[in-house]
Amino acid sequence: MTRKELLPIDFHVIGKDILRFHAVYWPAFLMAAELPLPKHIIAHSHWTVDKQKMSKSKGNVVDPFELIRQYGVDNVRYFLMREAKLADDADFSHKMLVTRCNSELSNTLGNLLSRSTGAAMNPSQSWPDARLEANDIVMTDRDKALLASFRSLPARVKPHFDLASFHEGLQLILDALYETNRYYNDLKPWALPADSHERHVVLAIAMEAVRVSAMLLYSVIPAKAEEVLHRLNVPRELHQDWGTLQRPPVAGTPLQPISATNGVFPRIK
């Protein structure tokens, strides 16, 4: 495919300090050359360090390759997408990166994954037979509301991702995961009989929350999302298919072992 065949581009991404050239002069050049204009122009804000713009002259530039070596590429990607806003400058610090990744990836998503799929809570190592979609199954209002929130989550996240406002889409995903962790703690499935329908419902909803979240997060943390979805035995060809988000694996689908010895989301020390 030639470069011309890739036109028009969806997003022309620029820094806010060069907006005039790319929003006025560059479109004029394209029109003069009879080339299509970008569909959108995204003018992003700056990254700062201690509230000062990064610059070579100040010597406060952060080396992204060093960050990746230190924290891993998915953690760095997550922090950048989570912290950056289009309208406001974002301030970088190692402490903020570690706090975000530990709190949101390890303690929230990773914790829910391990609690709902660990052998102690899920001795069969499979998707529980909760029949969440069956009309004849009794679920509480809270069960139904939480499940409905994840059914509607893709439609609520997509407009933010489509307009490159990733931090707002990620906040919606985190809010839903926070609520699921509260639900899990309140229902205390470890105190319910192992073969009870109530326990199966709690585990199934928690696993479904992890599955949907991982699929929505795939574009931000692809390697980590792959590991989560492999654990849940979601076919690889469906990992990026938002059209299948309404179809969880059938009851009895076996879980896959986690390849990493320290879990999918080890805490950064």
SS3 at position 90: strand
The answer on pLDDT for 106 being more than 60 is: yes
How do residues 2-15 score in pLDDT, each as one tens digit? 777 778 888 888 88
pLDDT for residue 37: 92
CA-based nearest residue to 89, from 48, 40, 119, 136: 48
pTM of full prediction above 0.85: yes
Beta-bridged to residue 91, according to DSSP, are 48
Give residue limits of the domains in the chain.
4-70, 94-244
Omega of the bond leading into 64 within 30 degrees of 0 (cis): no
pLDDT category at 261 given cuts 50, 70, 90 is: low
Q: Is the CATH code 3.40.30.10 the one for domain 94-244?
A: no
As a whole number, the mean pLDDT across the chain is 90
Sheet arrangement for strand 90-92:
52-53, 47-49, 90-92
pLDDT (average), residues 206-220: 96
Q: How far apart are the first and last CA of the chain?
A: 45
What percent of the chain has a predicted confidence (pLDDT) above 70? Answer: 96
Residue type, 135: N
How do residues 180-209 score in pLDDT, each as one tens digit? 999 999 999 999 998 888 999 999 999 999
pLDDT for residue 262: 72
The answer on pLDDT for 134 being more than 80 is: no
CA–CA gap between residue 181 and residue 79 (Å, rounded): 21
How do residues 33-80 score in pLDDT, each as one tens digit? 999 999 888 888 888 887 787 877 888 888 999 999 999 999 999 999
Residues 6+ apart with CB under 8 A from 146: 179, 180, 183, 205, 209
pLDDT for residue 182: 97
- The DSSP line for 37-83 is PPSEEEEE--EEETTEE--TTTT----HHHHHHHH-HHHHHHHHHHH
